[in-house]
Amino acid sequence: MGMFCYQCEQTAMGKGCTVAGVCGKQPETATLQDLLIYQLKGIGYLAHEAFKAGIRNEEIDRFVLEALFTTVTNVNFDDTAIAAIIRTGDKLKKAFREELAEHNVVLDNVPASVNFTPAESNEALIAQGAEHRIPDSQKNEDLRSLQQLLTLGLKGMAAYADHAYVLGKSDETIFAFFHEALAALNNENPTVDELVALNMKCGQVNIRTMELLDEANTGTYGHPEPSKVSTAWKAGPAIVVSGHDLLDLEQLLIQTEKTGVNVYTHGEMLPAHGYPKLKKYPHLAGHFGTAWQNQQKEFDNVPAAFLFTTNCIQKPRPSYADHVFTTGLVAFPGCTHVTRKDFSAVINKAKALGGLPARDGITLTTGFARNAVMGVAGTVIDAVKSGAIKHFFLVGGCDGAKPGRNYYSEFVEKTPKDTVILTLACGKFRFNSLDLGEIGGIPRLLDVGQCNDAYSAVKIALALADAFKCGVNDLPLSFVLSWYEQKAVVILLSLLSLGIKNIRLGPTLPAFITPNILKFLVETFNIMPITTPDQDLAAILKK
């Protein structure tokens, strides 16, 4: 077996990628990522012991965030970069042990991950990683299922925490949980109850993490406002920005002012057009293309520069490979890596390519985050009381390339005209171009934002429950979610930690969930796989 990875929804045969990743990840890359997770368990153990002794090391905290985020699907495909991160972690770990010794922190019977030392050559490093592949990490499948669920939850939460961190927002309790959970993953004989409790705590801590990110985004760029966004092309040099990082986008907009270069968002960057501090830039020209998985087709032979800021990159086609740039934690072999402090290489490439021709497009609407929706809460509540709005659907999540995701567009199209659809994340590109009309001046389709804006959706649900003096599960509200990668996993854990039940999940259930763990989730939370839009709508609306 060259590798084993089942952290995303499109994993081979619905069981696991063993030859190469469906995402394009090669066995060596997967193995190095497994080794990085193993090393993080050792670092987490030390940091957890330090926290218990009242010691915090911010450099360690930051490293854990970035290292976990590096292993999220479609972030880093560069073996050299990952190997360098592993070796950096080793230096930090050794210095940290010395720091703890100076503070008289006694470390007896430490797990093997604490004593791990990376090999000098990358080839030997990959051999070390082969000893820590997922199937060998825990022989009991149910325990491994819960351990992997927690690991993937940590990866997703690290992405949210990192976005908040770069905007100056952090919380010691979030870092404390990262270390607690990583330390616990060293336990070779945990109980099911211990792991279930850790997974639920991961969901709870992620709610705080998403709240922090919401504070970072809205505190920096203002509360999103409902905004019309064109998909038309303007004639002239262009940079297309993909990913999620608003700080990267802001820095690019600053550096491209008065250069004659237009900036377009792509994929999950669409909601950036709703933020007042970002939409003020006149050269934020519009939105390019649709969801991340269509980039190879949509970027083909396009004379624009492409900047990837977070987890969205696919192997570039030859027709545009030399004008792809990565920044932050994103890396792909052969692509030029730049920092947000200096995007001049991206700008110069955009100018050298000559620019886009003018082309017509359509108009999309975004910006219906919690502040905008709560601003019309009275109208919404009155519409529910009068019967004008009969039901709410939250239809959102990550999109992907596997067949079966047309379910979500068909589902939305078939929702009755007296219902409202909240949506977020890249799954919305299946249906966000639809004109579903309005109810009393309120659009039936409300784009809450990125997957990073899941907190907005949670706050809207909680506000509705408060207004109607009931629990979220008693509302005329149904969750119909699509998942692809690890951020969706931790959002699911967050919803479950809030006690939200009857979630419909698709297009397939996670391969890392064993039948016994699935049975537990069904019995406890009544999680259901999607069936057909007609069947699911009938079942939901008959209640």
Do 234 and 202 share a structural domain? no
CA dihedral 122, 128, 133, 137 (to 10 degrees): -150
Query: What percent of the chain lies above the pLDDT cut of 70?
Result: 100
Q: What is the CATH number of the domain that holds 232?
A: 3.40.50.2030
pTM here?
Answer: 0.97
- What pLDDT shows up at residue 400? 83
Do 250 and 169 share a structural domain? no
Total Cβ atoms within 10 A of residue 65: 26
Kindly state the DSSP code that residue 309 receives in the 8-state scheme.
-
Q: For the sheet with 336-338, list strands across it.
A: 284-287, 262-265, 238-242, 305-308, 324-327, 336-338
Do 289 and 396 share a structural domain? no
Do 302 and 169 share a structural domain? no
Do 385 and 309 share a structural domain? no
- Of the pLDDT bands very low, low, confident and very high (cuts 50, 70, 90), residue 398 is confident
Residue 402: pLDDT over 80: no
Q: Which residues pair with 364 in a beta bridge?
A: 229
Residue 17: pLDDT over 60: yes
Report, as an integer, the average pLDDT of 455-471. 94
d(CA 254, CA 246): 12
In a domain, 476, yes or no: yes
Residue 309: pLDDT over 80: yes
In a domain, 341, yes or no: yes
Residue ending a domain, among 196, 219, 242, is 219
Do 424 and 377 share a structural domain? yes
Contact 35, 128 (CB under 8 A): yes
In a domain, 7, yes or no: no
Q: What is the CATH number of the domain that holds 103?
A: 1.20.1270.20
Domain count along the chain = 3
Contact 28, 126 (CB under 8 A): yes
- What pLDDT shows up at residue 446? 97
Residue 1: pLDDT over 60: no
Query: Which tens digits make up the pLDDT trace of 199-229?
Result: 999 999 999 999 999 999 999 999 999 999 9
Domain extent, residue 306, equals 227-352
- Of the pLDDT bands very low, low, confident and very high (cuts 50, 70, 90), residue 403 is confident
**Cis amide bond preceding 507, omega within 30:** yes
Query: Which tens digits make up the pLDDT trace of 432-457?
Result: 999 999 999 999 999 999 999 999 99
Residue 312: pLDDT over 60: yes
Do 87 and 195 share a structural domain? yes
Query: Which tens digits make up the pLDDT trace of 493-540?
Result: 999 999 999 999 999 999 999 999 999 999 999 999 999 999 999 999
Do 56 and 184 share a structural domain? yes
d(CA 283, CA 253): 8
In a domain, 388, yes or no: yes
Give the type of residue at 322.
D
d(CA 270, CA 450): 8
- What pLDDT shows up at residue 543? 64
Torsion sign (Cα): 518, 521, 524, 530? negative
Do 112 and 40 share a structural domain? yes
In a domain, 358, yes or no: no
Do 94 and 134 share a structural domain? yes
Do 132 and 49 share a structural domain? yes
Query: Which tens digits make up the pLDDT trace of 157-211?
Result: 999 999 999 999 999 999 999 999 999 999 999 999 999 999 999 999 999 999 9
Do 455 and 327 share a structural domain? no
- The helix, strand and coil proportions of the chain, stated in percent and rounded to the nearest 5, come to 50, 15, 35
Query: What percent of the chain lies above the pLDDT cut of 90?
Result: 97
Residue 141: pLDDT over 60: yes
Residue 491: pLDDT over 90: yes
In a domain, 502, yes or no: yes
